[in-house]
Amino acid sequence: MRLTGKTVMITGAARGLGRATALACAREGADLTLLDICRDMPGVPYPLGTAGQLEHTASLCRSLGSSVLASPADVRDVRTLRAAVDLAVDRYGRIDAVVNNAGIAAPSGKPVHEISEEEWTLMIDVDLTGTWRMINVVGKAMSAARSGSIINIASTAGLVGYRHFAGYVAAKHGVIGLTKAAALDYAPVKVRVNAICPGSVRDDNEMEGRMLAEIAHALDVSDHESAFVEAQPMNALIEPADIAAAVVYLASDESRQVTGSVLTVDGGFSAR
Q: Mapping DSSP to helix (H, G, I), strand (E, B) and coil, where does residue 20 land?
A: helix
**Burial grade of 75 (CB within 10 A; 0-12, 13-18, 19 or more):** buried
Q: Are 89 and 141 in contact (CB under 8 A)?
A: yes
The active-site residue, picked from 46, 92, 162, 168, is 168
The answer to whether the bond into 198 is cis (omega within 30° of 0) is no
Cβ neighbours around 174 below 10 Å, total: 18
Burial class (CB in 10 A: 0-12, 13-18, 19+), 117: exposed
Q: Is 168 a catalytic residue?
A: yes
Residue 6: Cβ within 10 Å count: 22
Residues with a catalytic annotation lie at: 168
